[in-house]
Amino acid sequence: MNILLTGATGFVGSRLADLLLHRTSHQLTSAVRRHGSVVCGQEILVDGLTRDTDWSKALLGQEVVIHAAARAHVMSDQSSDPIEEYRKVNVEGTLNLARQSVESGVKRFVYISSIKVNGEQTASGRPFTERDALAPSDPYGVSKMEAEEGLMELARNTKLEVVIVRPPLVYGPGAKGNFASMLNLVKRQLPLPLGSVNNKRSLVALDNLVDLIITCVEHPAAANQVFLVSDGHDVSTTELLRAVARAMGKSSRLLPIPADVLMIGAAVLGKKAVAQRLLGSLQVDISKARDLLDWEPPLSLEEGLFKAVERHVD
């Protein structure tokens, strides 16, 4: 099968490209902005992801497009209209690629979205499902939702099969952002006031996410479906920190401060959003992928964490 991959130089895309090239028989072409961006495989130059990008050469002969490129979270965004900046890439750029995919005869379009389309928080014991009403709360999530809506409209009116995958926090070797910060704190064995957090959060190991994406490329039943993905094992922030410490061979130093006290302190310091990610719950139900695709995460949480922390172990 001939596959075009966007975002092949990113955290998810680079691992996906590696597994597609070395563990499947698919023929992969990576769309890049400069030659030499990927380690191996065929590359084709594409001038960005905009409403005007010409994808005709990249799409020639392709059967599947995996669209992992996006304008992701921009810290301290200085643009005057952030939502419009996200829309230019994540909505207009995505739908331009999808429309040209239809014109080129592409059969399936696999879109890597985000759980932020569902929202930022779940009630205890009530994980997000694919049937839930969408409730994004930031410009990134809104842009991902609008792209999903446009893609599904295109699927209804053309022969293009659309598959949407919504991951929560993705962790693995080379992960950046909040996960990398957490690893550094645990490695330094600093005392953390997070020993009594009883929330539940879903995460997904990079290899588990990539495995589901490849399944969505290949499985007939994935056509025109949305799938949530995780490791299938939800943990509290306290449990996660302890598991990371075990994977590193370190001792966890967690102080049992009540979560409501931490939330009050965070609000006073103007860090309520940060505290919500640490103290709130965000769970996803992966029953649909299990039942419809007969898919199971190949890595356990512990196995995924061991792979993620390898470069952090002394």
Q: Are 237 and 197 in contact (CB under 8 A)?
A: yes
Q: Are 214 and 227 in contact (CB under 8 A)?
A: no
Average pLDDT of every residue of the chain? 92
Residue 7, sorted as left (phi over 0), alpha (psi -120 to 50) or beta, turns out to be left
Active site residues: 140
Handedness of CA 150, 86, 272, 245 (dihedral sign): positive
Residue 271 has pLDDT above 90, yes or no: no
pLDDT in tens, 151-207: 999 999 999 999 999 999 999 998 888 888 889 989 898 899 999 999 999 999 999
Q: What percent of the chain shows pLDDT beyond 90? A: 72
Report which DSSP code applies to 284.
B
pLDDT in tens, 202-234: 999 999 999 999 999 999 999 999 999 999 999
In 3D space, the residue among 108, 23, 38 whose CA is nearest the CA of residue 66 turns out to be 108
The confidence score (pLDDT) of residue 77 equals 56
**Measured in whole angstroms, how far is the alpha carbon of residue 71 from the centre of its chain?**
12
Tokens of 142: 């809104």
pLDDT in tens, 12-69: 999 999 999 988 899 999 998 877 666 567 888 898 899 999 999 999 999 999 999 9
**Measured in whole angstroms, how far is the alpha carbon of residue 178 from the centre of its chain?**
14
Half-sphere exposure of 219 (CA within 13 A, CB side): 20
DSSP run (H or E) holding 289: helix 287-293
- Cα–Cα–Cα angle for 290, 295, 301, rounded to 5 degrees: 95
What is d(CA 276, CA 57) in angstroms, rounded to the nearest whole number?
45
Q: Are 62 and 3 in contact (CB under 8 A)?
A: yes
- Burial of 51 per CB tally in 10 Å (0-12, 13-18, 19+): middle
